[in-house]
Structure 1
Amino acid sequence: MATAVAVPGQHRTVLLHEAVDALVQQRAGVYVDGTYGRGGHSRLILSQLDADGRLIAIDRDPEAIANARDGETRIDDPRFSIHHSRYAAFDELLDELGIAQVDGLLLDIGVSSPQIDDPDRGFSFRFDGPLDMRMDPTRGQSAAEFIATASQERLIEVIRDYGEERFAPALARALLARRAEGRSPTRTGELAALCASVVKTRERGQDPATRTFQALRIAVNGELDELERALAQSLKRLKPGGRLVVISFHSLEDRIVKTFIARHAQEVYDRRVPHATGTPLALKAIARIKPGDDEVAVNPRARSAILRVAERTDAALPQEWRR
């Protein structure tokens, strides 16, 4: 049914079979892959669907869209469509497509290997390139522009909260000093060197720039807000029995997913009311999965990944959850 070429060797989809096995419960279902990347999950999802199944893929990166339509990772299948959008806008996209509810939503959060390994995208301190970091380089503010305009308080907040970097105040002061000299960093190499000069101690094996690059990427792309919005939309868009499957790669993302599932999968009782039955549960927690040693050995980037799975129940949503 599907005609597709193999995923290029440099990109390995993390928790591929675990995610798709958890997601696809209806072979004739409608599914959303909110983070297409290079199509590893999408391709396997399609292999699990019958002729009546449908897969709607989304990515905010124009390069991923181009690859899906006419590149190395193209998928030629009438059951498949690819859309250039933020995954947090999947609610509006489903409205445009005339789809009320779906059987599953997959989110593989983070940066793909092709993005990290392309110096022109500016995601990695390992290569010198423009300090960009935007998932969609056609819109929004680059990391260099953010650094050049943010207040000291905002820089501290971002580097401390999104990077969990204890040297955030010192880094913010150093960035402001560079700005005052007319030398605000515009390239990844410049920012990495500044981090190395300020961050004097670091965990073994971790580059001094790791946490700052992570923080700026999250801020520039609004990643945590994006995740929270998509999770909220999943409550009304998933059919009863539909699966929410999320792969995250650092603690901030996983905390959001874990908290969201727990909030909607835990009964809340009003102790003031005798024989109260509790609030109907919108979700049922299904699984928490981490990559095995074999996968980590082949793909070290999988080391920090956590897969969480929840299933939509048939409980009606309280009004305050429908926003």
Structure 2
Amino acid sequence: MAADKGDSMTDADGGPDRHIPVLLKEVLTAMEPAGGDVMVDATFGAGGYTTALIRAGASVIAFDRDPDAIAAGASLKAEHGDRLTLVHARFSELLDHVEPASLDGVVLDIGVSSMQIDEAERGFSFMRDGPLDMRMGRSGVSAADVVNRMKANDLARVFGLLGEERHAGRIARAIEADRLKEPFTTTRQLARMIERVAPRKHQDRIHPATRVFQALRTYVNDELGELAEALFAAERALKPGGRLVVVTFHSLEDRIVKRFFQDRSGKAAGSRHLPEQIDRAATFTPIGKQPVTAGEDECQLNPRARSAKLRAGLRTGAPAGAVQMSILPVPNLAALAAFGG
């Protein structure tokens, strides 16, 4: 992923401005919430989009895989009652909780929650020393499991493909050597090792550990696969005239969203990524010129907006298309033998 230029993990992953949702005005323009609408905020986080949608008249079903985010939404739930439903689930599980063709809108903000970044014990940021964890849902394989048990060749693939780290092989081999002496358990421990083997050049503003941490987080949470599955689920959950709005912060995520809307445009398509198709009915038509990016005023106020891109589509009445995981811009690395088997 193309990390935003900055000195910290928070710059690269969309933090730390907890209370400022990115591209809020543009999201509301694309979503067009109104009284009686039922919309999904598929990435609830701190509730910025949810609050704005409710204030505009919509009822919101808010999803988050992080139990802490759902718990933190209790006060918002108490304030708005039946107009807010909180769901502890991955956004790819959308259709387990809503009926097909029932929604007026779905919005996804694919940036990491600033609440997660801010909490050292979650292990997302090397700027705050904590356990090497990175699990959004607090369960499953952790970043420490991956770093300490995955083969060096597989680690290099993760760092190179998901982090676009040019020193992926060197860093992976150094990890393999160092973990024989002492396992990696904290964020600072890993970051300092990376600084040692791939030091930052004078003109490079990005910390040398940023892309590795980005890749680990993406791998641990299967973020690219989750995003692709969520797009296909949203297609089935939206009613004709419903709106799908997606805000991304990294190039790999944006490529997935762009390919999804291209594939659903109804035009013949064929590339090394997508199979050749005949013309068929479009399931989405674009909403405005895309991608939408933040203006300079917002970027000055909220630095996490610098790398944000918004893409949006209007659901037609055509039947949903087949799931095409070929929209993934890299191989699905979630199937790697995480423990060197």
The interval holding the TM-score normalised by the smaller chain is 0.7 to 0.9
Residue number among 43, 56, 61 corresponding to 2:61 in the alignment: 56
Instruction: Supply the distance in 1 between the matched residues of 2:226 and 2:316 (Cα, whole angstroms).
Output: 24
Match of 2:198 in 1: 199
Match of 1:280 in 2: 281
Instruction: Say whether 1:256 aligns with 2:256.
Output: yes
Match of 1:23 in 2: 31
Instruction: Supply the distance in 1 between the matched residues of 2:25 and 2:90 (Cα, whole angstroms).
Output: 24
Please state whether the residue corresponding to 1:265 is helix, strand or coil.
Answer: coil
Match of 1:3 in 2: none
Instruction: Supply the distance in 2 between the matched residues of 1:226 and 1:259 (Cα, whole angstroms).
Output: 15
Larger deviation: 233-242 or 35-44? 233-242
CA deviation digits over 1:150-176, x for unaligned, max 9? 111220111000100010000110110
Q: CA deviation at 1:45?
A: 0.3
Match of 2:292 in 1: 289
Asked whether the equivalents of residues 22 and 309 of structure 1 are also in contact (C-alpha less than 8 Å), the reply is yes
Instruction: Supply the distance in 1 between the matched residues of 2:200 and 2:90 (Cα, whole angstroms).
Output: 37
Alignment length (residue pairs): 300
Asked whether the equivalents of residues 17 and 302 of structure 2 are also in contact (C-alpha less than 8 Å), the reply is no
Match of 2:337 in 1: none
Asked whether the equivalents of residues 247 and 308 of structure 1 are also in contact (C-alpha less than 8 Å), the reply is yes
- Provide closer, same or farther for how the CA distance between residues 70 and 317 of structure 1 changes in structure 2, counting only shifts above 3 A: closer
Match of 1:117 in 2: 118
Match of 1:101 in 2: 102
Q: CA deviation at 1:295?
A: 0.9
Asked whether the equivalents of residues 67 and 74 of structure 1 are also in contact (C-alpha less than 8 Å), the reply is no
Q: CA deviation at 1:25?
A: 4.7
Q: How does 1:76-87 map to 2 (within 5 A)?
A: 76-87=80-91
TM-score with structure 1 length normalisation? 0.87
Residue number among 20, 26, 31 corresponding to 1:12 in the alignment: 20
Q: How does 1:29-178 map to 2 (within 5 A)?
A: 29-49=37-57, 53-70=58-75, 75-95=79-99, 100-137=101-138, 139-178=139-178
Structure 1 letter corresponding to 2:120: P
Match of 1:179 in 2: 179
Match of 2:311 in 1: 308
**Alignment RMSD (CA, Å):** 2.3
Instruction: Supply the distance in 2 between the matched residues of 1:212 and 1:9 (Cα, whole angstroms).
Output: 22
Asked whether the equivalents of residues 68 and 75 of structure 1 are also in contact (C-alpha less than 8 Å), the reply is no
Asked whether the equivalents of residues 147 and 155 of structure 1 are also in contact (C-alpha less than 8 Å), the reply is yes
Structure 2 letter corresponding to 1:200: P
Match of 1:274 in 2: none
TM-score with structure 2 length normalisation? 0.83
Structure 1 letter corresponding to 2:194: C
Structure 1: gaps (5+ residues): 1-7, 271-276
Structure 2: gaps (5+ residues): 1-15, 271-277, 326-341
Structure number with the bigger relative contact order (C-alpha 8 A, sep ≥ 6) is: 2
After the TM superposition, which parts of structure 1 deviate over 4 Å for at least 4 consecutive aligned residues? none
Q: How does 1:165-244 map to 2 (within 5 A)?
A: 165-181=165-181, 183-201=182-200, 204-244=204-244
CA deviation digits over 1:100-146, x for unaligned, max 9? 52111110002111211111111111111111111111x11111111
Q: CA deviation at 1:229?
A: 0.3
Structure 1 letter corresponding to 2:128: F
- Provide closer, same or farther for how the CA distance between residues 158 and 21 of structure 1 changes in structure 2, counting only shifts above 3 A: same
Instruction: Supply the distance in 2 between the matched residues of 1:65 and 1:112 (Cα, whole angstroms).
Output: 12
* % identical equivalent positions: 42
Asked whether the equivalents of residues 11 and 114 of structure 1 are also in contact (C-alpha less than 8 Å), the reply is no
- Provide closer, same or farther for how the CA distance between residues 199 and 74 of structure 1 changes in structure 2, counting only shifts above 3 A: farther
- Provide closer, same or farther for how the CA distance between residues 293 and 173 of structure 1 changes in structure 2, counting only shifts above 3 A: same
Q: CA deviation at 1:269?
A: 8.5
Please state whether the residue corresponding to 2:264 is helix, strand or coil.
Answer: helix
Please state whether the residue corresponding to 2:140 is helix, strand or coil.
Answer: coil
CA deviation digits over 1:22-63, x for unaligned, max 9? 1135431211100000100000000111xxx42100001111
- Provide closer, same or farther for how the CA distance between residues 131 and 321 of structure 1 changes in structure 2, counting only shifts above 3 A: closer
